[in-house]
Structure 1
Amino acid sequence: MRAPIGPFEQARPAADCLADLTRPVAEAVRGLHADDAAGADEVLYVDTDPAIADTAAFVAHYGPELLGQSANCVVVAAKRGGETTLAACLVPSAGRIDVNGVVRRHLGARKVSFAPMATAVELTGMEHGGITPVGLPADWPLLVDPAVADMPYVLVGSGSRRGKLIAPGAFFARLPRAEPVEGLCVQDPA
C-alpha cells in the first residue's frame, strides 16, 4: 500500500521500522500486527528531518498541501476536585483544539490546559514534537475530531521528532479509547 501524501515515496510499513520508533509506539505497532483486524498494514512510517518536525516548519519545507493531510496529537490535563486526568486530542493541523469549551465539557473538568511538556514526554515515552496517538498510555482517552477520521490519509508524529506515521483517518478513530468529539477542532479564520 502506498499513501498518496506529498513527497513520501520512501514510506514503508511501520511494522518494518520498529527500530526507528520509540518503545511505546513500536510496542503498539507490534500489537497491531498481532491483531490482523487492527489494520497494522495501513500504518506507514517515513523518515524525516527532526529539525522540521513541528507542523509549521514541516509544511513550509514540504508544501502547504500537507497541512490539509496532517493532524496534531496534543496532551491535555483536565482538573476537577483536586484530581488531574490526562487525555490526548487529535485534530487537523490547520486548526486548534477547543480546550476551554468542548474538551473541558467532554472530560467533565473544571479546568483544562495543555499538559506540561515534561509531563507529556515522561508519561508517553515519546519526544516533544513527535507525540502520536499510536502507543499512548492505555488509560488515557483519545479525543478525535471527526474531520481527522474522514481524511483518506493522515500524517502524524511517530513518537520521535525524526519520522512520521501515515495512516487512513479511520484507523485513528479505531484506536483503543478513541472517542469522536464534534467541535473538538476550531478552524482559525483565514
Structure 2
Amino acid sequence: MSFATPSLSLGQVRWVGALEHPELLGPVVHEQLRAWQTEHPKLVQQVMACEIDPELSDTAVMSEHYDIPMDTSVNCVLVAGKREGVERTAAVAVRASTRADINGTIKRMLDVRKASFVPMDRAVEESSMEYGGITPIGLPENWRFVVDGSIDSDAWIVIGSGIRASKIAVPGSVLVALTGAEVIEGLGR
C-alpha cells in the first residue's frame, strides 16, 4: 500500500520521507520505523528527515543556522534516579525552548528522591544513537518514554534522528501515537 509523502516547509532545509532515505537515520531509528510501517503506514509516512551539518546538530546552533524555531525543536533526554536501591529511568521529550523540570515534575514522575541526567557515554551506549541525535524513535523497549503535554498536538516538531548529520520532523501527535508515549504536563519549564 502506498501513501503520498507530505510536503513540509520548515526552516531552510529540504525535508524528505524518512523511510525513503535510510542514510539520514541511525540504524535503530530506521529499524523502528520499518517495524511501525507494518502496523501504522499512514503515521510513518508523516515522518520526515533532513540532512544537516553534524557540526551544527546542537539544538540552539541548528535552530539558528537553519531557521527552525526553538519551540519547534524537541530534545530527548535520559533521566534516572533511585528508590530503595532500584534505578528508575525515563526518556523525556521537552521543547527546546524550555528546560526539563528535573527537580520537580520529573522527580515526582519517577518517584525518586533525586533525579539527574544519565551521563552522555551511558546514554549513547544504551540508546545505540549518537550524542546530539538521540531521539524517541528506536529507544530500547524497556525505557519509559514521556513527553511534555505541549508536544501532543498536530503541530510539527523537530527531533533527533539517531545521528548528528540529520533531523526528523513529525507532528507531535503522530510521535505520541507511534511511541505510545505518556503525556505529562509540566515536564518542561
In the superposition, the TM-score normalised over structure 1's length comes to 0.91
Q: 1:5·1:69 contact (CA, 8 Å) conserved in 2?
A: no
Task: In structure 2, list runs of 5 or more residues that go unmatched.
Answer: 1-5
Corresponding position of 1:81 = 84
Asked if 1:31 is matched to 2:55, the reply is no
Tell me the distance in 2 between the aligned counterparts of 1:59 and 1:46: 13
Q: 1:138·1:176 contact (CA, 8 Å) conserved in 2?
A: no
Corresponding position of 2:3 = none
Q: Relative to 1, partners in 2 of residues 1:27 and 1:100: Cα closer, same or farther, differing over 3 Å? A: same
Corresponding position of 1:121 = 124
Structure 1 residue 68 displacement after superposition:
2.1
Tell me the distance in 1 between the aligned counterparts of 2:64 and 2:179: 33
Corresponding position of 2:177 = 174
Runs of 4+ in 1 over 4 A off after TM superposition: none
Task: Choose from 84, 94, 100 the match for 2:103.
Answer: 100
Task: Choose from 5, 10, 13 the match for 2:10.
Answer: 5
Structure 1 residue 32 displacement after superposition:
1.7
Tell me the distance in 2 between the aligned counterparts of 1:143 and 1:166: 18
Which letter maps to 1:29?
L
Asked if 1:130 is matched to 2:163, the reply is no
What RMSD in Å do the two structures reach over aligned CA positions? 1.4
Tell me the distance in 1 between the aligned counterparts of 2:169 and 2:123: 22
Which letter maps to 1:69?
T
Tell me the distance in 2 between the aligned counterparts of 1:68 and 1:151: 14
Deviations along 1:128-160, whole A, 9 cap, x unmatched?
111001001111111101111125100111011
Structure 1 residue 66 displacement after superposition:
1.7
Structure 1 residue 176 displacement after superposition:
3.1
Task: Choose from 9, 16, 21 the match for 1:17.
Answer: 21
Task: In structure 1, list runs of 5 or more residues that go unmatched.
Answer: none
Tell me the distance in 1 between the aligned counterparts of 2:108 and 2:42: 30
In the superposition, the TM-score normalised over structure 2's length comes to 0.92
Asked if 1:90 is matched to 2:93, the reply is yes
Q: Secondary structure at the match of 2:70?
A: helix
